[in-house]
Amino acid sequence: MATGKEFCGHLVPAVQWSGQDELFLQPVYIVPLEIFTTGLLARPEYKTVMAIVEAVGGRVSIVAAKNVPKIAGGEPKGRKLPVNVALDRAVSSAESAGVSEGREGWRALAGSSHVMARESEARACWKVWIRSGGSLVDTVTGKSFPVGELLGLLLPQEE
């Protein structure tokens, strides 16, 4: 597994923390994807998106390239979560998620997606969480989650 030493910087927060807040640093990979879709019922489409892969459990979320949070330099002081997903597995997971992106319902039968990850442009950084009582606050989105629910999101998924 990766050691976490290659992770640098953190996602720019929408919610700021103070010096006495307890912080948790979650390792994430940001992987650029190029997606080309074709189909019988739609015009061919080419788009560039970003996959944010959580390096603790491998969960992938796809966001438009313009909506990806910026990466700030430096590393806040806090407890680091373990890195359980290597970069090559993160890239593979991102490509798999890109293939199924936007292919819901019956239209998925009449089209195809071709995805290419730009592994050389992938970034590894930290996502900061603030512990507030019995909940954790995602500093990027500002959403609050109960600690127990968040553990389910972060733990590795069975494959």
The neighbour count for residue 60, using CB atoms within 10 Å, is 19
User: Does residue 16 lie in a domain region?
Assistant: yes
Please tell me the number of Cα atoms within 13 Å of 157 on its side-chain side.
10
| pLDDT value at residue 99 | 87
Taking CA atoms, 134 is separated from 13, 15, 39, 77, 149, in Å, by 21, 18, 47, 20, 11
* Position 93 in a domain: yes
Backbone angles phi, psi at 87, to 5 degrees: -60, -45
Residues spanned by the domain of 40: 10-154
User: Given this model, what pLDDT does residue 95 score?
Assistant: 94
Q: Let me know if residue 4 belongs to a domain.
A: no
On whether residue 111 sits in a domain, the answer given is yes
Q: Can you name the residues that pair with 142 across neighbouring β-strands?
A: none
Tens of pLDDT, residue by residue, the chain (159 residues): 555 568 999 998 888 888 788 888 999 999 999 999 887 777 888 999 999 999 988 899 999 988 888 998 888 888 888 899 999 999 999 999 998 876 666 666 677 888 999 999 999 999 998 887 778 888 888 888 887 766 665 555 554
pLDDT on residue 57: 86
Residue 137 to residue 18: CA distance in whole angstroms: 13
Per the structure, the count of domains in the chain is: 1
- Any domain includes 40: yes
pLDDT at position 31 is 95
pTM over 0.75: yes
Residue 159 in any domain: the answer is no
Q: Considering Cα of 67, then 55, then 47, then 9, what sign does the dihedral take?
A: positive
**Do the Cβ atoms of 28 and 54 come closer than 8 Å?**
yes
**DSSP per-residue string spanning 60-127:** EEEEEGGGSPPEESS--SSEEPP--S-HHHHHHHHHHHHHHTT--GGGGGGEEEEEEE-GGG-EEEEE
Residue 5 maps to a domain:
no
pLDDT value at residue 138? 86
Please calculate the CA angle 25-87-155 and round it to the nearest 5 degrees. 50
